[in-house]
Amino acid sequence: MARPTSNGKAAPTATPAISVIVVAYQSGPTLARCLAGLAAQTFQDFEILLVDNQSTDGAPQAAAADPRVQLLSPGENLGFAAGNNLAAAVARGRWLALLNPDAYPDPDWLEAWVAAAARHPDVRCFGALQMVADAPGLMDGAGDVMTSAGIPFRGGYRRRLPEALPAGEIFSACGAATLIDRALFLRLGGFDARYFCYCEDVDLGYRLRLAGETTLLEPGARVAHVGSATLGVRSDFALFHGSRNRVWTYLKNTPPLLLWLTAPLHVAVTAGLLLLHLRRGDAGPVIKGIAAAFASDDLASILASRREIQDARKVGSGAILRVMAFDPVAFFGRRMVIRKLKVPRSVGA
């Protein structure tokens, strides 16, 4: 990995409560609005770390004119996963607030998270309520959901926001807007850089769960999210990486008992999804992604990670199953799964 360079600004002496990390790649149309949302925050004790993944649109350099923005330029496109890891390594806040450049935070976004952290001192990861940027009243996501078949999806995607949406436990937080304890993020190794982008947030959320940690949705912390503004929702790139990384997430993290119980179901649902892509005419990158997941060198590396993760896990299959969507095809309805808060403690199968 290339050594990062910064824009040469001296770091303030006071340690901020939060380090906001924005990873930008060709984000010109959205980055300015994202940073304007940060400037308008009611909670102002934060720093901004902007990672430029070798953009050619000049947007990160223009944003760096703001004295609050520290620009990190690694000299190559690290992807979303390694880009966030790079910034987390130099961040100074107790908390990391991960924010996509196409996510526009409400003015009280950070304030709502700070209040939630004060109410729940044992919780060290929080998700935000994401709304569709160009469709008021529609949710872009209320936490990531994992089905009992090991297939993740964004809960509530493009569904109408209910009148009352309670705070509660979710499987994992969407990386477009996540608050996580920096020390915990670093202890778990951050995002898996092998993923590059797509599903790395679910993988991290799964590892948090296996470590006995809880993720809480705080609906008062809101962002308006464009979603795949740079690469497109169904681009070949997105389909390839999403398909490959979904398999890796399942193989790495599923506890042994749950893995044996759900493997036939996972294969069946994956095959069903592949048939849907065949009908749409975009199955090529999906097939390539699944094949890449089982490429010999990569698979050996993933299985080595699995051994490390399972040896270190603090909870068993029951604790993981409790926060899943029991319906193996719940993703068809984009159903939200928000449980009453319960911090798992026991180790099991």
Tell me the average pLDDT across 161-167. Answer: 92
Pairwise pLDDT comparison (10 vs 126), residue with the higher score: 126
- Answer yes or no: is pLDDT of 33 > 70: yes
Q: How many whole angstroms separate alpha carbon 153 and alpha carbon 54?
A: 29
| Structure confidence at residue 305 as a pLDDT band (50, 70, 90) | very high
**pLDDT value of position 160:** 96
CATH architecture of structural domain 5-225 = Alpha-Beta Complex (3.90)
CB atoms closer than 10 angstroms to residue 122: 9
- Answer yes or no: is pLDDT of 325 > 70: yes
**pLDDT value of position 42:** 98
In this prediction the pTM is: 0.92
The percentage of residues in the chain with a pLDDT greater than 70, rounded to a whole number, is: 92
Q: Do residues 307 and 334 make contact, with C-beta atoms less than 8 angstroms apart?
A: no
**Range name among 17-26, 40-49, 143-152, 337-346 with the lowest pLDDT average:** 337-346
**Could you give the residue ranges of the DSSP H alpha helices within 281-339?**
283-293, 296-312, 317-322
Report the Cα 89 to chain-centroid distance in Å.
Answer: 17
Q: Where are the domains of the chain?
A: 5-225, 236-313
Q: Do residues 32 and 102 make contact, with C-beta atoms less than 8 angstroms apart?
A: no
* Closest residue by Cα to residue 194 from 260, 241, 149: 241
State which amino acid sits at residue 153. Answer: F
* Closest residue by Cα to residue 234 from 291, 284, 177: 284
| Structure confidence at residue 229 as a pLDDT band (50, 70, 90) | very low
112 Ramachandran zone, left/alpha/beta (phi>0; psi -120 to 50) = alpha
Q: How many whole angstroms separate alpha carbon 127 and alpha carbon 256?
A: 28
Q: How many whole angstroms separate alpha carbon 275 and alpha carbon 307?
A: 32
Q: How many whole angstroms separate alpha carbon 242 and alpha carbon 190?
A: 19
**pLDDT value of position 29:** 83
Tell me the average pLDDT across 94-119. Answer: 98
| Structure confidence at residue 105 as a pLDDT band (50, 70, 90) | very high
Q: What is the pLDDT of residues 241-295, one digit of tens each?
A: 999 999 999 999 999 999 999 999 999 999 999 999 999 999 999 999 999 999 9
**pLDDT value of position 4:** 58
Tell me the average pLDDT across 48-62. Answer: 95
**pLDDT value of position 308:** 97
State which amino acid sits at residue 171. Answer: F
Q: How many whole angstroms separate alpha carbon 51 and alpha carbon 24?
A: 6
- Answer yes or no: is pLDDT of 346 > 50: no
**pLDDT value of position 228:** 58
| Structure confidence at residue 1 as a pLDDT band (50, 70, 90) | very low
- Answer yes or no: is pLDDT of 8 > 80: no
